[in-house]
């Protein structure tokens, strides 16, 4: 009797698995994916977009850039041709904002990717332009094209010289009233910076917490803060905008969520010589 009970307990999970597998097969769901496909590497980023920031030095300047096409799956021993097209929704104009040296690239045998070259016609760009180049994989021969990552947006942006790194005195007006503090801005890469405390002293002086750093970008005086984590209290995260003034001061408007009890403020930063 004990042996029968043990055998029954062993068979029930197997039968359940068989029924589950059969149902999944009948629904058309593939449990083990045996194929391969091509996709844009950068298409998996937020909004499927990447930003290419260029600095203009002359009216005939051309900058080189690329996007990557990946082969997802096992290597194959034959070349994979890939045809790239420009989506009609692009606001970037061929011959004005960009050129594509080639629309046909090949992933070599037993490799995983190929870089698609893009020429950015920086000399033609104006500071108030925001052209977006939308590229699409049109054909890959016998290879499947990814349904989710077959399109990538290349945001072409012109930047002015930027040098914001340093120490600043801050005056923040908002949550907690008016607060005086200091922050340090560190350059991570061109046009991208880390501020040591996006709250301008609110977290440390009002809530007795730690400073909350954040990363922001600056393009021709315009500052953007997007979806920066609240590492102190775990709020939905920080967003904000700002501007670099002609006298070197910086004005940043920030908030850490859309709830009624969220924190927010306007911080004026003055460089410390």
Give the domains, in start order, of the chain with CATH numbers. Answer: 37-159 (2.60.40.1740), 166-271 (2.40.128)
Please say if the pLDDT value at position 23 is more than 80: no
- Give the pLDDT score at 128: 82
Q: What is the mean pLDDT of residues 17-45?
A: 59
CA distances (Å), origin 97, targets 56, 68, 115, 249: 13, 20, 20, 33
Span 120-157, pLDDT tens digits: 999 999 878 999 999 999 999 989 999 999 999 999 99
Span 80-123, pLDDT tens digits: 999 999 999 999 999 999 999 999 999 999 999 999 999 999 99
Least trusted range by pLDDT, from 131-135, 216-220, 252-256: 216-220
Buried b (16+ CB within 10 A) or exposed e, 41-50: bbbeeeebeb
- Give the pLDDT score at 57: 85
pLDDT bracket for residue 7 (50, 70, 90): very low
pTM: 0.57
Burial of 133 (0-12, 13-18, 19+ CB in 10 A): buried
CA distances (Å), origin 244, targets 62, 173, 188, 250, 256: 28, 18, 18, 5, 21
Helix, strand, coil percentages, rounded to 5, for the chain: 15, 45, 40
pLDDT bracket for residue 65 (50, 70, 90): very high
Please say if the pLDDT value at position 24 is more than 50: no
The whole-angstrom separation of Cα 127 and Cα 50 is 19
pLDDT bracket for residue 19 (50, 70, 90): very low
pLDDT bracket for residue 258 (50, 70, 90): low
Least trusted range by pLDDT, from 19-23, 55-59, 112-116, 138-142: 19-23
Give the residue from 154, 116, 149 showing the smallest Cα distance to 132. 154
Which two structure tokens, joined as six digits, stand for 64?
A: 């080189």
The answer to whether the beta carbons of residues 149 and 48 sit under 8 Å apart is: yes
């Amino acid at each position: 009797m004990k042996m029968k009970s043990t055998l029954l307990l062993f068979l029930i999970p197997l039968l359940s698995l068989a029924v589950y597998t059969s149902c999944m097969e009948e629904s058309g769901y593939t449990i083990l994916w045996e194929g391969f496909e091509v996709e844009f590497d950068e298409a998996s980023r937020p909004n499927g977009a990447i930003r290419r920031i260029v600095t203009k030095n002359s009216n005939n300047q051309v900058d080189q850039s690329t996007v990557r096409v990946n082969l997802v799956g096992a290597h194959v021993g034959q070349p994979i041709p890939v045809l790239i097209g420009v989506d009609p929704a692009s606001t970037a104009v061929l011959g004005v904002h960009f050129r594509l040296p080639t629309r046909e690239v090949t992933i070599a045998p037993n490799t995983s990717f190929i870089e698609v070259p893009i020429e950015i016609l920086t000399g033609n760009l104006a500071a108030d332009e925001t052209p977006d180049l939308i590229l699409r994989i049109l054909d890959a021969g016998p290879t499947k094209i990814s349904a989710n990552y077959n399109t990538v947006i290349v945001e072409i942006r012109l930047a002015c010289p930027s040098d914001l790194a340093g120490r600043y005195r801050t005056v923040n007006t908002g949550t907690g009233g008016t607060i005086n503090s200091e922050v340090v801005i560190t350059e991570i890469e061109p046009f991208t910076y880390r501020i040591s405390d996006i709250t301008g002293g609110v977290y440390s002086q009002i809530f007795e917490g730690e400073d909350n750093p954040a990363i922001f970008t600056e393009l021709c005086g315009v500052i953007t803060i997007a979806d920066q984590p609240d590492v102190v209290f775990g709020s939905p995260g920080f967003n904000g905008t700002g501007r670099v003034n002609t006298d070197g001061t910086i004005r940043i408007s920030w908030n850490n969520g859309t709830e009624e009890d969220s924190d927010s403020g306007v911080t004026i930063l003055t460089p410390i010589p």
